[in-house]
Copies of this chain bind each other. A is one copy, B any other.
Amino acid sequence: MDEAAGRTRSERLAAEIAEAIVTGALAPGSRLDEQAIADQYGVSRTPVREALRHLGSSGLVEVRPRRGAVVAQVTADQLAELFVAMGEIEATCARLAAQSMSPLERRRLDALHDAMGDLARGGDLAAYAQANTAFHGAIYAGAHNGVLLDFAAGLRRRLQPYREAQFRLSGRLARSHAEHSAVVAAILAGRAAEAHAAMLRHVTLVESSVEGLLAREVTGERRAARPEGPRSRSG
């Protein structure tokens, strides 16, 4: 039946709404009407409210007191900040991983990296993207720090839509794999500072390539999405 029986309705709602957001089914800026969502899922407003609050504290939705919730509107500035933070956290995890990964973890990272080389040469975008998530996840885990792991995972989820777009660029796969090679080599050799630098360089390049896409999307976007309201975003 429902294998999620142990979880509460609000948890399942939060998971479903989050899925709808990261997959793009709910566009940024969309209003999240409590009653409408409640009707849609056949529950009352109470668990919907809890789910929205939960997503609010994870940054996926923006809850404004007495004014309802909307799918988090990521401005260009905020996206840049997210990418910088992501890069720094990933680089930190890479440095810690170089210091404290177990031999088994290192072997697995190496094997995963090798397998991704085949995927990159084969040009399988979807498979590479999935393996890429596992690759970065392995490095987060290798840092042996649950706090950083949670933070990195949350950031990655928020950046998921923008990150996927980046792989559509031709030639990014081989380049991504080459950058990974530098990271893996440093981690396997235990060269912490080098692992940090290599990962930071990698994510910074991802960021700059995404920024190109974003510039087109944000500035050239038609009114179809209808952002909630042009609030003065001077900062």
Contact = CB atoms under 8 A, between A and B. Distances in A.
A49 B104 CA distance: 43
Interface stretch (A82-90, A163-171, A215-223): A82-90
A30 B233 CA distance: 42
A7 interface: yes
A96 B80 CA distance: 14
Given A57-B57, A88-B148, A146-B81, A233 B102 contact: yes
A231 interface: yes
A85 B147 contact: yes
Contacts of A73: none
Give the size range of A's interface with the partner: 35 or more
Contacts of A232: 102
Nearest to A86: B147
A146 B75 CA distance: 13
A148 B155 CA distance: 11
Interface in A161-202: none
Given A50-B50, A85-B151, A78 B146 contact: yes
Query: How many copies of this chain does the complex contain?
Result: 2
A141 B207 CA distance: 22
Interface string A1-17: 00000111001000000
A147 B82 contact: yes
A210 to B, nearest CB: 16
A46 B44 CA distance: 14
B81 A147 contact: yes
A151 B151 CA distance: 8
Contacts of A145: 81, 84-85
Nearest to A7: B65
A100 B231 contact: yes
A204 interface: no
A31 interface: no
Name the residue among A82, A100, A104, A147 with the largest chain B CB count within 10 angstroms: A147
Contacts of A65: 6-8, 11
A136 interface: no
Contacts of A121: none
8 contacts: A6-B65, A46-B46, A49-B50, A78-B146, A81-B148, A92-B92, A100-B231, A144-B231
